[in-house]
Amino acid sequence: MDFASSDRAATQPTEITSAKIVIAGGFGVGKTTLVGAVSEIEPLTTEAVMTSAGAGIDDASKVPGKATTTVAMDFGRITMADDLILYLFGTPGQTRFWFMWDELIRGAVGAAVLVDTRRLTDAFAPLDYFENRHLPYLVAVNCFDDAPRYEPEEVREALAIPAHVPLLMCDARHRDSVKAVLIGVVEHAMATLVAEHEKGHPAPVG
């Protein structure tokens, strides 16, 4: 044991706030790549045990006879200050694990839905999900090298993305590009919050 660290706790700020941004999208769309491009740690994976029906459980032995699945999600961390940490959570690839998505978005600042133009239809389920939740989100088109190039407005039309949802192009491998996506999410969250406040009925997030 390292007893020399006994006064470390005293140097911790009294209250540390942590926030999260959710990175959603289908399998292979670049979520882990995006998280890794800005995270200070190698993206970590956490696992939750689910019944096959999709309800989250904590102990598989509690539901004998029911098939269970392990659903994995990965995440990264950006320590912004002694008292502020931002986490980036990638959704599980399979959109059928709605339970896990609900847990992930609860209390989130906002979300980015990543889209791969080679498999546009994979984006429908995530987009539907966010359209029916009260969480500010934007769409980020991940520009794979061998993907057909579309104008942003073509993607918006093809996916029927509402006008109030920001859409931008990105490269999930590049830090500056990912930074721009995350800044876009937060700016959109601020604009949404201000608009709700002016209308006089702010709703809680998530």
Ligand X SMILES: Nc1nc2c(ncn2[C@@H]2O[C@H](COP(=O)(O)OP(=O)(O)O)[C@@H](O)[C@H]2O)c(=O)[nH]1
Angle between helices 31-38 and 175-199 (to 10 degrees): 100
For 119, the token pair is 């498999």
Which of ligand X, other proteins, Mg ion, none has residue 63 at its interface (CB below 5 to 8 Å by kind)?
Answer: none
Kindly tell me which residue out of 172, 178, 181, 189 binds ligand X, with binding defined by CB under 6 A: 172
The CA–CA distances, whole Å, from 78 to 34, 37, 93, 185 equal 13, 11, 23, 15
CA neighbor of 89 nearest in space, from 21, 173, 177: 21
Kindly tell me which residue out of 68, 144, 158, 196 binds ligand X, with binding defined by CB under 6 A: 144
CA neighbor of 91 nearest in space, from 118, 131, 125: 125
Span of 23-31, 138-146, 158-166, 174-182 interacting with other proteins by CB under 8 A: 174-182
* Separation of alpha carbons 44 and 55, rounded Å: 23
Contacts of 124 (CB under 8 A, 6+ apart): 159
84 binds other proteins (CB under 8 A): yes
Site for Mg ion in 18-77 (CB under 5 A): 31-32
Residue nearest to Mg ion (CB): 32
**Per-position x/- string for 137-176, each x denoting binding to Mg ion as judged by CB under 5 A, each - no binding:** ----------------------------------------
Identify which of residues 142 and 192 has a Cβ nearer to ligand X in the complex: 142
For 108, the token pair is 């989130």
Residue 118 neighbours by CB distance under 10 Å: 13
* Separation of alpha carbons 149 and 95, rounded Å: 26
Where does 82-189 show beta strands of DSSP type E? Answer: 84-90, 110-116, 137-142, 167-170
Span of 23-31, 111-119, 165-173, 196-204 interacting with other proteins by CB under 8 A: 196-204
Kindly tell me which residue out of 109, 111, 113, 155 binds other proteins, with binding defined by CB under 8 A: 109
Site for other proteins in 20-79 (CB under 8 A): 20, 38, 44-49, 56-59, 61-62, 70, 75, 77-78
180 binds ligand X (CB under 6 A): no
| Residue numbers at the binding site for other proteins (CB under 8 A) | 1, 3, 5-6, 8-9, 12, 15-20, 38, 44-49, 56-59, 61-62, 70, 75, 77-78, 80-81, 84-87, 89, 103-104, 106-107, 109, 175, 179, 182-183, 186-187, 189-190, 193-194, 197, 202, 204-206
